[in-house]
Chains A and B, each alone.
Chain A
């Protein structure tokens, strides 16, 4: 499972580099600002990050790392939950700044740091004195070691304070902090960064004008999370580098969770990782899911059992059934032959992926520019459609072809050029021919253009001729002729060509965009257990609790508990009985009635003869069991004691009213 770890690492690396790239622009801005602090304004960056709060942590880590590398060692990250008051905020700020000072020059400063931490006086003036000390130290103390770093940081690096979640800060804390720091901006070059999840209007809502006028706010919009997702999908799924693939349904589940629920790229990646783990855990043949280089080695080391596993795969069986009978026998009996065949199949699969991706991109070039997006705007939708079934059999594909036949020339040419680029860049060898064909189309189009020019010349000359003629009737006639001839001649040529182009694209699609289910051995690399994944990711606590209490057999697997339908069995745990009984009640539950019902259920099967004796007097043991069950329900938060009636409890569960 090394691959998996590698994959995760690569994945996170991708993400971080992506984030850093998206914020590089932002860093340049900060450097600019610090130079221009004329007024009493605090330079402030408002980062609008979108509502996917779970991703913000990573973003901020990326930002602070990037800042630390390039601009300043002094960075403090503040969270709203740590700072209920201005005092806590200052303490936190001081602590973080002084600690990161230790990180930077971890020399003999330990004693000095201890002093500063012992000193509980957290005010701006002490912060300033600390800052002066720190910068002086970096300037004078160790020129040898600091040279490289001071070339990166400057003489007086700014202190960056990042407010992670602007919305949750109380207004007073922020206002006070801004007022204080604006008074010391000359002694302490401070830069604020607000992390905003909703919209920048929140600044105006949180801060009155007198305070916001102290800020010099510049706005940065991070990429929308949808775009972020498409880049991730682009990098992870639509490449042939990662051997692991997602099946259509699984991908759909992941994307649905993303779009419907949280917009969180992080969660998407977690889900993806879960898929990887699940795949390697549940599929015994996942050993073969690796880079092509290692495949041969691994195939050779396959045991007999594993070969049997291969034979049991449905896609492999289908493949075998298509072969001639001798080969069938060889495949089913001879392990070595099977291994060779598997290797070949896997290679085929790999080539298929390469071709698939590039053709998919070509198709996307066409579909994304058509009106109404018959096959989806994003490449991921197209991908899903292609994975699901044969794409050329769908209605959307038909409408796509029709629309494509109506494209105008310039669009068509640019699309063709893009396609050629994509196909050229792909590593597949089979595309040489298609590339040539497409290039041919392009030259034909160019020829067409040239012809059109010539024709225009002709028409110009004919117009000159026309001027000579004076007869009105003749003039009209010739004009009409001219028009008709132009239309019929040129447009037919162009249309013919257009049809040819569309047909060739169509054939490409039919050849390469075969759904993966049709390929042999696709189970090795595709993960298709969507229901498992949904169960893992889409937790439903209410439903789970209800099943547990309503149908204890589901979890306990005890035969005796298996009940049929509505009846309440007395063998179930007490809490289940109590729960079922309470489902029948209204908002307020009378405890005495409940106890009666409970005791009847419990007594019913146990001792039918003894109930005469204890009919009016409830058994002490049953009483105790009842009380315990009720208090367990209270602990679970299903009921609470009510103040309206003393011997009643209020029901809190779903559907109580």
Chain B
């Protein structure tokens, strides 16, 4: 791809921009040609989509700031109601135009927004204003008029404004039923491994040479590219493990070119990191501490190591009973629970035949009475239906081990569902 060229902007700025956004030159030049010169009216709305961390937000932000285009940048997750969103846009507009008015902006509807918007931006008439809405998929959950109105904001306000929507999902999922103005859609493809290599190598620490860091990135990508292509995550991992990579160099055992030796040193370490840090089993700070101590991560138990849950005696039986009730059909109850008393072993055994089909179907709801009946039959000694037992059922629901199904009418024979897995029940039943 040739260098970015555009008559409207100075070449130095463009060069700088190009160095900042590697591997995205084609998209940037396309955007620039759409934007046109500052005073030109541009496309009313642009829709940019691409997978996670394909540089959408970053490219937009650097493009707008380096070329000093007037813009407003809003994240739709953060401003979760339409009112907050609109007010935030107006606030940013005010502060960018430098007119410090009364800080409290009241803007409840889009109609207000259009009016206030017109008031706020009289002096921007000669330049295109860009409103960037990051994570625009949230817009769909706001009032129905917000999205179509943003798409034709230029027409509504009669100002030189362009709305840019950034999202991770395709435009087809946005299109409202009533139809709307079609934006210009644009796709940001995923970075390839070469791109990732280039981008990651770009920000090498100052004390080491770029080649050295590039070699490190090469090794890192070799290990992690199979499981993770997320640029942010990779960058995080690179920063975490770099000190370990440098260790032989610092100790003087190897020089910077001795890649083979370095690779031997780092490879098992990276594999370990893949099992722990990447899955967030242990936190990055713990990982760093481990590196300093040089200890084994075996001593530090990860999150999933603590799967065992301590439950009171009757809660265990309640949970087992609930599990049996939701995976066994009602007609087998008589066969399993009626005759003998301490028959729980046998029931588990006999259940094997039907298990496959029932487990594929998922848990079925069951009434409270059935749960209690099964409980009485699997507990050896007598259990009085005390308030404690009932409150335990509710506390199991709050722990999300059971879930309540159906109507919220408590008197109407509540129905429950068991939400835990077979492994969990096995652990409890032991």
Contact = CB atoms under 8 A, between A and B. Distances in A.
Interface string A401-431: 0000000000000000000000000000000
Nearest to A217: B283
A39 B284 contact: yes
Contacts of B399: 51, 53, 167, 197-198
Interface string B384-404: 111111111001001111000
B88 interface: yes
Contacts of A538: 384, 386-388
B384 A259 contact: no
A302 interface: no
Contacts of B284: 39, 41, 216
B313 A259 contact: yes
A165 B369 CA distance: 28
B80 A212 contact: no
- Chain A interface residue count: which class? 35 or more
Contacts of B390: 541
> Nearest 7 CB-CB pairs, A to B?
A637-B411, A539-B387, A260-B313, A200-B303, A261-B388, A216-B283, A540-B386
Given A167-B398, A183-B75, A203-B303, A224 B388 contact: no
A53 B395 contact: yes
A36 interface: yes
Interface string A139-175: 0000000000000000000000000010110000000
A41 to B, nearest CB: 6
Interface stretch (A7-15, A121-129, A465-473, A590-598): A121-129
A652 B413 contact: yes
B179 interface: no
B398 A121 contact: no
A262 B388 contact: yes
Given A51-B312, A200-B306, A263-B310, A123 B369 contact: no
Contacts of A201: 303-304, 307
Interface in A33-64: 33, 36, 38-39, 41, 43-44, 46, 48, 50-51, 53
A225 B312 CA distance: 10
A167 B312 CA distance: 19
Given A33-B285, A39-B239, A217-B280, A51 B387 contact: no
12 contacts: A39-B236, A39-B284, A43-B285, A53-B395, A53-B398, A198-B401, A216-B283, A262-B312, A262-B392, A539-B387, A543-B384, A654-B385
A441 B257 CA distance: 69
B312 A123 contact: no
A224 B310 contact: yes
A342 to B, nearest CB: 40
Interface of A: 32-33, 36, 38-39, 41, 43-44, 46, 48, 50-51, 53, 86-87, 119, 121, 123-125, 165, 167-168, 176, 179-180, 183, 197-204, 209-210, 212-213, 215-219, 221, 224-226, 257-263, 538-543, 637, 640, 652, 654, 657
B309 A199 contact: yes
Q: Which of A183, A204, A209, A260 has the most CB of B within 10 A?
A: A260
Contacts of A219: 301, 303, 306
Interface of B: 52, 75, 77-81, 84, 87-88, 104, 232-233, 236, 239, 280, 282-286, 288, 301, 303-304, 306-315, 369, 384-392, 395, 398-401, 411-413
A652 B77 CA distance: 47
Contacts of A226: 310
A200 B283 CA distance: 13
Nearest to A46: B303
A199 B308 CA distance: 7
Contacts of B104: 119, 121
B387 to A, nearest CB: 4
Given A201-B304, A261-B392, A50 B285 contact: no
Contacts of A197: 399
Contacts of A217: 280, 283, 303
A260 B384 CA distance: 12
Given A51-B315, A262-B392, A538-B386, A215 B280 contact: yes
Nearest to A202: B400
A133 to B, nearest CB: 13
A224 B411 CA distance: 36
Given A198-B309, A212-B280, A221-B306, A541 B387 contact: yes
Nearest to A206: B400
B98 to A, nearest CB: 19
B229 to A, nearest CB: 13
B309 A261 contact: no
Nearest to A215: B280
Contacts of A216: 283-285
